[in-house]
Structure 1
Amino acid sequence: MASAHIDTFARDRLPPVAMQPEFLFELPELQFPERLNCGAELLDRAIARGWGDRLCVRGAGLRWTYADLLAHANRIAHVLVGDMGLVPGNRVLLRAPNTPMLAACWFAVMKAGGIAVATMPLLRAKELVAIIDKGQVSHALCDLRLADELQAAARACPVLRQVRCFNDPSPQGLEAAMAARPATFDNIDTAADDTCILAFTSGTTGVPKATMHFHRDVMAICACWPGHVLRPSADDVFIGSPPMAFTFGLGGLLLFPMAVGASTVLLEKASPAQLLEGIRDYGATVLFTAPTSYRTLAAHGDAIRASTLRRCVSAGEALPAATRALWKQATGIELIDGIGATELLHIFISADESRARPGATGTAVPGYRARVVDAEGRPVPPGTVGRLAVQGPTGCRYLDDARQAQYVQNGWNLTGDAYLMDEGGYFHYQSRTDDMIVSAGYNIAAPEVEEALLQHPAVAECGVIGVPDEERGQIVKAFVVLRPGHAEGPEMARTLQEFVKQTVAPYKYPRAVAFASSLPRTETGKLQRFRLGQADAAGIAGAGTDPREATPSTDRKVAP
């Protein structure tokens, strides 16, 4: 179908059709028209349905109806096009904590035919540079409070030529430009298969991958899991912890509530204590967060029981059976578990409360198929551990990346997770099949942490792995060989931890540090991370000669 994109960067870099997964549109609600703009479908259509006066989004000191959000989005779309020179197909970086203004900016990009590139607030300039370069991002809308790292990145990225900040009272701020623009906007008539999102995910090598999603993909995830598993109503109030830069957060805290006329609460900071406060203050009924937060919140079971909360969704990392039982005992609420992936945009295996089974993620969400396969891609019998393979209306399309051939094989998406399926069709998580560290719902690549550590003058060499942790699923552990003249111990461990926090996003820092005289390597010099893992599992601090453990108390403040 004819693209509306004048800037054809994204379409020109789609994987060849033969390397894309097989897409399924078997449900009636997945029969999309050829022309589709998800921003118009979710926001403008809400007004047409008579929802204009309904409460839509709340944040710190803000309370917007659907009509308010539409007016803000339309004015921002005018600024993007009229003041910043956006043409359909341009990439727009979005940088902010979860706020109503971030939601308005996201919809403005959709309506103007741009491609949203949402980034996590914790990212540093180094990480932003990689994203801007990969996506050839030309425009940015940024919360002024987070502008420093973006400005540092922009100096290294001449392609980023237009930046506007909001929460900026100056004449150059986005709000000043919006004030001069009308509250109506003629939406770009995008094709259903025009790219509207570049969602970045860490690779196991530390090199980011950009996943490409279409307007129809956004509407597909609104049609599958929410309607068949979550089943929200227009009276629900959504709240949660994942940043909207995570597709888990984008769907759960913006798209899904708006698809049914519900409202959402966007918290700039969402620690368990802040979630508890938000649930109480806003009367939240649906919660999205990771198992780590549920374990902490369970200590406040009486407060949860006395609240309006009725549905709780866990994703981002595997949900232990013990955490499910703890939450049910403390609150009386059965958790809705689910697994999704940035490559598939949202949850594709899950189970509602009535079908939940301890230790099982769930079954394939209507609209999706899932199976467990061996190394050659052949289905394995029930009870056999293998690789999880998925098909559905969404799937992996990496932007100009050879790793497409690893993720998509024989028309199936291979998620990098090891699962077994029981006789009843329930999928049980076993482990990752790659070297990705999954900690409290965040994906962390070991080589990226190693690179950050190696920039410190005291570090001669290092190796990083994920080790089991009761609260976070895994934590990052670093094995460090120091240069001569530098003393080992808790003080040095803390120094290295703080250094990593300042170099890359703070959630990637090693929560455990062990010192060693050498690291296990092959004859060709390749680091053997599996031997570090074996040594840690055996209770040995390091895998080199004379290892010495030095793990100061962990800093929970950077956790989600």
Structure 2
Amino acid sequence: MTTAHVDTFVRDRLPPAEAQPEFLFDLPELQYPERMNAAVELIDRQPAERLAVVNDAGQWTYGEMRSLSDGIARLLTEEEGLVPGNRVLLRGPNTATMFAAWLGVLKAGGVVVATMPMLRPGEVATILERAQVSHAIVDSRSLDDFRAGAQQAGTVRSLLTYDGDLRTGELERRLAGVAKGFAPIDTHRDDVALIAFTSGTTGRPKGCVHYHRDILASADSFARYVLKPQAGDRWACSAPIAFTFGLGMLLVFPWRFGGTAVTIETPGPKPLLDAIARHKVTTLATAPTAYKAITGMLADADIFSLRTCVSAGEHLPAATWHGWHDATGIRIVDGIGATEMMHIFISASGDDIRPGATGKAVPGYRATVLDDAGQPMASGTGRLAIKGPTGCRYFDDERQANYVQNGWNVTGDTYRLDEDGYFWFVARSDDMIISSGYNIAAPEVEGALYGHPAVLECAVVGVPCEERGQKVKAFVVLADGHAPSPELAKALQDHTKCAIAPYKYPREVEFVTALPKTATGKLQRFSLREREA
């Protein structure tokens, strides 16, 4: 291939071809031309007058988003020294300006590295260092942690800031001085478009690399065939676009099919419910815990515009599905995806839904379960394995061999495959905790707790939680001079929130005199999980 990238830092650090999964492009919609830019396909192909984004601050047409993203691309390339292949950090809540920046980076040939606004300086610094990020576009409300992280990393040489969608920031002032229009970089379909860092990983975060065609492939498989979107649909999602679930449901899918993105800055089920009524949302995407919470708020709510509801991020319990269906008449479309896979690869909609099951392989994908020898099974319980138009390409990471085995993407989930081809979630295969759709690594939380002087030893596990699916629980052995108390438990929780992203903090703290270990002193988290189960 002939890349458009001058800076090949990411491509030079991809796993070799033999370590990558087998890719499938069987569907006619997945036959993309060699030269294509995903941002152009998403925003420049729709009628200019059609509504692209709406929120409490205003609304933007496709033409306006095209113009805004062209200006950002021109500003980056002509005044900020960006060359194709440079990495650009995006940081802030979901807004039209954030989305325009995402488009502008791709049009300029850059590589998007989006981060969750709640990440702390140390976490930001790690991402900046890993990806050698040179440019950043940051919402002014997310600047403090970014500046601290950038100072630590020392890689960022260009920073543009904006004030949400108020149109009052430095970015908007700079854009007023640039020429109109921009000739998008003629990227190859297999040029790197984004690095999505997995949440809650231990040690070095895993960066999942996706190409320009990967961005469209998730729309042309799952969204096209399972959700069957229509032009004019209004899409809302609780996840930030730093999560590929949010990126797909709130940016890629709406624009691929001529819809409107409804952005919501205030987190939580109630603001989400209010936005459905205020902006006449037709397609909603959020985690199972949010559906359960919203179900109890529906008495006086206006959700008559809703037509499609999508759940992902964690297992959707049958009881939650039935509760929502009984209250609204809408069948939730469940699905499992992964950052490594870009988006959802097992799902079902309409009459194909079986409550409690995740669904079947999405058109364009093949799915199976592997036995202990790594061989596919016709049915039974084993490790979930996937092939399709997207797949795992870890950036500069030896853990590629753990995820890709014999051409299959092995997700780390244990599933049961029945004789009808439906997949039923059993459990995670490792120590990752999935709580309200977030992936949280136990050792990372333990590392934060160890920073408190009262902690001598600790162990963190996920325990069953009706509200969140799982919740983070910490078992703590105290150092001399410290006594168990509710006040100390809260102090440890607050300390953790300051050290790492707040959603990772232990919802429950239990003080113990000793932790279960092997004869060699290795912590046995499974013993604690079994006790709690």
TM-score (norm 2): 0.98
Q: What is the rounded CA distance, in whole Å, between the counterparts of 1:172 and 1:231 in structure 2?
A: 38
Distance 1:36 1:69, change over 3 A: same
Asked if 1:394 corresponds to 2:394, the answer is no
Query: Is 1:138 aligned to 2:143, yes or no?
Result: no
Identity score, percent: 54
Q: Contact (CA 8 Å) 2:276, 2:303: kept in 1 or not? A: no
Partner residue in 2 for 1:245: 242
Once the two structures are TM-superposed, the CA of residue 204 in structure 1 deviates from its matched residue by 5.1
**Structure 1 position 304, deviation (Å):** 5.4
1 CA distance for matches of 2:373 and 2:5?
A: 39
- DSSP-derived class of the 1:45 partner: coil
Measure, in 2, the Cα distance between the counterparts of 1:452 and 1:340. 28
Aligned to 2:73: 77
Moved over 4 A (4+): 168-172, 302-306
- Tell me the equivalent position of 1:212: 209
Instruction: Flag structure 1 segments of 5+ consecutive residues without an equivalent.
Output: 538-560
Could you report, residue by residue, the CA deviation over 1:395-421 in whole angstroms, capped at 9, with x for unpaired residues? 000001000000000000000010011
Helix, strand or coil at the partner of 2:284: strand
User: Which of 413, 420, 423 is residue 424 of structure 1 equivalent to?
Assistant: 420
Q: C-alpha distance in 1, partners of 2:530/2:168?
A: 59
Q: Which amino acid aligns with 2:131?
A: G
C-alpha displacement of 1:182: 2.4
> Residue 553 of structure 1 aligns with which residue?
none
Aligned equivalent of 1:174: 171
Do structure 1's residue 323 and structure 2's residue 320 form an aligned pair? yes
Q: Distance in 2 between matches of 1:23 and 1:368?
A: 9
Q: Report the AA paired with residue 10 of structure 1.
A: V
* Residue pairs, 1:494-533, within 5 angstroms: 494-533=490-529
Contact 2:277–2:302 (CA under 8 A) maintained in structure 1: no
Q: Deviations over 1:219-256 (max 9, x none)?
A: 11110011101011112111120111100000000110
**Matches for 1:125-164 after TM superposition, within 5 Å:** 125-164=121-160
Please give the per-residue CA displacement for 1:275-319, whole angstroms capped at 9, x wherever unaligned: 110000001111000000000111133455752111100001000
Contact persistence 1:206–1:446 (CA under 8 A) = no
One-letter amino acid of the counterpart of residue 242, structure 2: A
Distance 1:349 1:265 in 2: 25
What code does the residue aligned with 1:482 have? L
Query: Aligned AA for 1:509?
Result: Y
Tell me if the contact between 2:4 and 2:187 (Cα under 8 Å) persists in the aligned partners.
yes
Structure 2 gaps, min length 5: none
Cα RMSD after superposing both structures: 1.4
Counterpart code for 1:389: A
| Counterpart Cα distance in 1 of 2:298 and 2:356 | 22
Residue of structure 1 aligned with 2:92, choices 69, 91, 96: 96
Select the residue among 225, 233, 238 that pairs with 1:236.
233
What SS does the corresponding residue of 1:300 show, helix, strand or coil? coil
Partner residue in 1 for 2:33 = 33
Q: Which residue number corresponds to residue 67 of structure 1?
A: 63
Verify: 1:348 aligned to 2:345, yes or no.
Answer: yes
The structural deviation recorded for 1:62 is 1.8
Give yes or no for contact 1:368–1:390 (8 Å, CA) kept in 2: yes
Report whether the alignment pairs 1:8 with 2:8.
Answer: yes
Alignment check: 8 A CA contact 1:206 1:447 kept = no
For the residues of structure 1 that align with 2:107 and 2:488, how far apart are their CA atoms?
51
Counting only pairs closer than 5 Å after superposition, residues 402-551 of structure 1 correspond to structure 2 as 402-537=398-533
Query: Once the two structures are superposed, what CA deviation does each residue of 1:509-544 show, in whole Å capped at 9, x if it has no partner?
Result: 00010001111122322211111112223xxxxxxx
Q: Distance in 1 between matches of 2:201 and 2:101?
A: 31
Q: Tell me how far apart the structure 1 counterparts of residues 318 and 167 of structure 2 sit (CA, whole Å).
A: 52
Verify the 8 A CA contact 2:133 2:156 in the aligned structure 1: yes
Q: 2:106 aligns with which of 74, 94, 110?
A: 110
Give the deviation of 1:160 after TM superposition: 1.4
CA contact (8 A) 2:163 2:169 kept: no
CA distance in 2 between counterparts of 1:235 and 1:188 reads: 29
1:295-351 per-residue CA deviation (whole Å, 9 max, x = no partner) reads 011113345575211110000100001100110011111100000000000000000
| CA distance, structure 2, for counterparts of residue 202 and residue 170 of structure 1 | 31
SS in 2 for 1:428: strand
Secondary structure of the structure 2 residue equivalent to 1:361: coil
For the 8 Å contact 2:321–2:355, the answer to whether it is kept is yes
Counterpart Cα distance in 1 of 2:336 and 2:330: 19
Give, in whole Å, the separation in 2 of the partners of 1:303 and 1:76: 42
The structural deviation recorded for 1:174 is 1.2
Name 1:308's counterpart in structure 2: 305
Distance in 2, matches of 1:310 and 1:203, equals: 33
1:22 pairs with 2:19? no
Query: Displacement of 1:13 after TM fit?
Result: 0.6
Aligned in 2, Cα 1:473/1:206: closer, same or farther, shift over 3 Å? farther
SS of residue paired to 2:426 = strand
Contact 2:287 2:437 in 1 (8 A): yes
Alpha carbons 1:305, 1:331 under 8 Å: kept: no
Q: Is the 8 A contact 2:55 2:279 kept in 1?
A: no
Alignment of 1:374 onto 2:371: yes
Q: Distance in 2 between matches of 1:391 and 1:302?
A: 43
Cα distance in 2 for residues equivalent to 1:16 and 1:206 = 23
SS of residue matched to 1:238? strand
1:472-528 C-alpha deviation (Å, 9 max, x unpaired): 110000001111111211111101001111111000000010001111122322211
Whole-angstrom CA distance in 1 between matches of 2:269 and 2:431: 28
Instruction: Give the superposition deviation at 1:83.
Output: 1.8
Q: Secondary structure in 1 aligned to 2:377?
A: coil
Q: Deviations over 1:121-145 (max 9, x none)?
A: 1100011111111111111100011
The 2-side partners of 1:135 and 1:306 are apart by 42
